[in-house]
Amino acid sequence: MLRQRFQDLVRDRTAMAGAALLGLMIALAVLAPLLGGDPYRVDPTITLRPPSASHWFGTDEKGRDLWTMVVHGARTSLAIGAVTTALAVVTGYVLGVACGYFRWVDAVVMRVVDGLMSFPSIVLVISLVGVLGDGVATMITGLTVVLIPMVTRVVRGAALAVKAMPMVESTRSLGSRTSWVLLRYVAPEALSVTIVQAALAFSVTVLSVAALSFLGIGLPPDVPSWGTSLSAAQQYFYSAWWIGVFPGLAIVTTVLGLVLLGDGLRDVFDPRSARK
Amino acid sequence: MTNYLLKRLGALLPTVAVPMVLLFVMLRLAPGDPAAAIAGDSATTEEIAEVRGRLGLDASLWDQFLGWLGRVVRLDFGDSLFAELRVSGLVFEHAQVTVQLTVLALTVALLIGPFLGIAAGTRRHGLLDRVLVFGSSIGIAVPSFWLAVLLIAVFGVVWQVFPVAGYVPFSEDPVLFLHHLALPAISLGLVEAATLFRYSRAGVLDSLHQPFVTTARSMGLPERMVIRKYVFRAAVVPMVTVVGLTTGSLMGGAVVTESVFSVPGLGQLLLTAVQRRDYPVIEGCIFFIAVVYVLLNLLIDLLYSLLDPRIRY
């Protein structure tokens, strides 16, 4: 079953294009220490140099090599994205399955989920960072809190659908315990929609981290990040277009990869909602 | 009808309550002493105690919650911690600008997204469709603040046709008002147009296979007529709901875009408040955004019954 779906995914051209883009960014992030120099080395003698053989993407306003900043920015973005997505997906999955199966959990959790879902997430994250203080941990907490409802809602829908299936009813009438029904039927069925949500959650995180660091919120200012680089570009765009272009392209490549991969995953894992 | 409205309001209450309670809880869970952080590094013990008193952090947690709830229900958010200004006044003043920007951006998005969505949907698998679908994927991937930076560079700095920053009130000069808000509205609206495009294209594809469309075709109506009178109408009604959601994300996006263009809206107020940890102002901003969102969605529900005669409350 899983193997068949994987083969379908490999045959999907859009999904593979997305996977290639994402794979490229992951490779850059993992190999950043080999590909780039030291992102903390500031050299005031070479500020705002245009792209050249020694500095492929030019240098920024502090004289740091922009290529180094972009690959290390990939590290920051993808690391925060991966941690946040993992936390949100696991929590959202457990909550979603519980909501779909136990009515009393559903009544409580879904009210909270509805409240958080409709609120503009970036505003909420900004405010949470404002309340909790700056820092990577705060940012991950804030982003996770706003992403959990998204996953929960979709997983709950899948769990509800499974619960209504005849196979669940028959196994229950044969005397299976709730834990068995959950583990054997509900949890695996809900997994496929969760995979689709993971790609979506990842893209939301990457965009949010970029927006937050662009605004100077959350990340310390010396941590290499695409948003921080773009923020500097506002002042120097006219004299140094490269600061405004390359970090932005990095964001678009990553998010486009995730969006395309997510579309492909949805076609394969959640065909009911995809082929509407 | 009244019954229905009350029910909907009840269902929308969490949108206001959950973020507010979350902020309340988070401030109390925050590591370290928030009062000390707000008062600053050089604050004396008395100053910290004073901030703690103003935030009501010195009472028991339950008393704090009751007091807080009482104030929120009375729409009393107190004063800013840094200026002798009422939070309600500050929020209201800045909100006007954000609402104007949101409306303009929504106009941009609505002029582009659904129109292209219908054009692409009715020519499925054609060249136009493919180009637009790819374009919309890129549109979704481009952060609106980056688009803003690029637009400023091209239209503000190189060609100098639009101002790069600032704001002029509508009452002062409507032309300058639009001139200043054009780039922010376009950068915000274009990104959202990509989402609207996807929904309207899906809506068209959906309604192309509806039985009433087949009937219209078999009656011999020209295809253009079928699309205009049947497909279009069926595709537009669900869009109304999407507009409600879009407005939510536009308000969120406005917060970021405003900072790029130095537009004195809610986003700027919120950012300054977050940097200074001006807690009452943060609370006021969140409350306002949530309430606007709720009222808007209520309005959209009502609009639905006008657009779709099958829906009656």
d(CA B254, CA B145): 9
The candidate with the shortest Cα–Cα distance to A217, out of B172, B256, B83, is B256
| B 127-186 near A (Cβ less than 8 A) | 137-138, 140-143, 145-146, 149-150, 152-153, 157-158
ipTM: 0.86
Give the orientation angle of helix B174-208 with respect to helix B232-261, to 10 degrees: 140
Q: What is the mean pLDDT of residues B198-205?
A: 89
Tell me whether residues B255 and A126 touch, CB distance under 8 A: yes
Does residue B195 register a pLDDT over 50? Answer: yes
Q: What is the mean pLDDT of residues B76-92?
A: 86
pLDDT tens digit string along B228-245? 888 887 887 778 878 887
pLDDT tens digit string along A44-63? 887 778 888 888 888 888 87
User: How many angstroms separate the CA of residue A161 from the nearest CA in chain B?
Assistant: 23
User: How many angstroms separate the CA of residue B141 from the nearest CA in chain A?
Assistant: 5
Q: Residue B54: what pLDDT? A: 77
What tokens were used for B41?
Answer: 């590094």
Letter for the amino acid at A139?
Answer: M
d(CA B88, CA B56): 19
Q: What is the mean pLDDT of residues A149-164?
A: 90
CB contacts < 8 A, A to B, total 155
- CATH of B88-307, picked from 1.20.1250.20, 2.130.10.10, 1.10.3720.10, 1.10.10.10, is 1.10.3720.10
Nearest CA in chain A to B283: A127
Give Cα B233 to chain centroid, integer Å: 26
What SS3 state is found at A59?
A: strand
Q: Residue B255: what pLDDT? A: 86
Residue A221's Cβ-side half-sphere holds a number of Cα atoms within 13 Å equal to 5
Count Cβ atoms within 10 A of the Cβ of residue B29 and give its class: 0-12 exposed, 13-18 middle, 19 or more buried.
exposed
Count Cβ atoms within 10 A of the Cβ of residue B120 and give its class: 0-12 exposed, 13-18 middle, 19 or more buried.
buried
User: Looking at per-residue confidence, does B53 or B187 come out higher?
Assistant: B187
Q: Residue B313: what pLDDT? A: 59
Tell me whether residues B256 and A211 touch, CB distance under 8 A: yes
User: How many angstroms separate the CA of residue A276 from the nearest CA in chain B?
Assistant: 7
Q: What is the mean pLDDT of residues B66-89?
A: 85
Q: What is the mean pLDDT of residues B284-297?
A: 88
At residue A275 the predicted structure's pLDDT band, cuts being 50, 70 and 90, is very low
User: Looking at per-residue confidence, does B196 or B5 come out higher?
Assistant: B196
pLDDT tens digit string along A125-139? 888 887 887 888 888
Alpha helices, DSSP H, located in chain A: 2-11, 13-30, 32-35, 66-101, 103-118, 121-132, 136-163, 166-173, 178-181, 187-214, 226-236, 241-269, 271-274
d(CA B260, CA B147): 10
Give Cα A154 to chain centroid, integer Å: 16
What tokens were used for A146?
Answer: 């706003």
d(CA B146, CA A210): 10
At residue A35 the predicted structure's pLDDT band, cuts being 50, 70 and 90, is confident
Start-end of CATH 1.10.3720.10 domains in chain B: 88-307
Q: What is the mean pLDDT of residues B35-40?
A: 77
Letter for the amino acid at B97?
Answer: V
The candidate with the shortest Cα–Cα distance to A18, out of A151, A197, A143, A203, is A203
User: How many angstroms separate the CA of residue B253 from the nearest CA in chain A?
Assistant: 8
Q: What is the mean pLDDT of residues B118-133?
A: 89
Does residue B123 register a pLDDT over 80? Answer: yes
Does residue B109 register a pLDDT over 90? Answer: yes
At residue A1 the predicted structure's pLDDT band, cuts being 50, 70 and 90, is low
Does residue A272 register a pLDDT over 70? Answer: no
Q: DSSP character for A65?
A: B
The contacts of residue A178 (CB under 8 Å, 6+ apart) are A101
Q: What is the mean pLDDT of residues A100-109?
A: 87
Concatenate the DSSP letters of all residues of B152-173 into one string: IIIIIIIS--S-SS----TTT-
Best to test chain A binding among B157, B256, B276, B295 (most A CBs inside 10 Å): B256
Radius of gyration of chain A (CA): 22
Tell me whether residues A112 and B18 touch, CB distance under 8 A: yes
Q: Is B25 on the interface with A (CB under 8 A)?
A: no
Residue pair A215/A123 in contact (Cβ under 8 Å)? The answer is no
Tell me whether residues B137 and A215 touch, CB distance under 8 A: no
The contacts of residue A40 (CB under 8 Å, 6+ apart) are A222
Q: What is the mean pLDDT of residues B221-229?
A: 87
At residue B35 the predicted structure's pLDDT band, cuts being 50, 70 and 90, is confident
Rank A51-55, A87-91, B130-134, B227-231 by mean pLDDT and report only the highest.
A87-91
Residue pair A248/A237 in contact (Cβ under 8 Å)? The answer is no
- Least confidently predicted of A152-156, B238-242, B288-292: B238-242
Nearest CA in chain B to A233: B149
Does residue A274 register a pLDDT over 60? Answer: no
- Least confidently predicted of A66-75, A92-101, A107-116, A139-148: A107-116
Count Cβ atoms within 10 A of the Cβ of residue A86 and give its class: 0-12 exposed, 13-18 middle, 19 or more buried.
middle
Q: DSSP character for B190?
A: H
User: How many angstroms separate the CA of residue B209 from the nearest CA in chain A?
Assistant: 11
Does residue B304 register a pLDDT over 80? Answer: no
Q: Residue A276: what pLDDT? A: 40
Tell me whether residues B19 and A111 touch, CB distance under 8 A: no
Q: Residue A232: what pLDDT? A: 85
Mean per-residue pLDDT over chain A, rounded: 87
Task: Name every chain B residue with its beta carbon within 8 A of the beta carbon of A118.
Answer: 12, 15, 245, 248, 293, 297
Cα–Cα separations (whole angstroms), residue B152 to A162, B163, B263: 51, 8, 14
Its pTM surpasses 0.90:
no
Nearest CB among B32, B149, B202 relative to A234 is that of B149
pLDDT tens digit string along A110-127? 888 888 887 888 888 888
pLDDT tens digit string along A206-246? 999 999 999 988 888 888 999 998 988 888 877 788 888 99
User: Looking at per-residue confidence, does B268 or A41 come out higher?
Assistant: B268
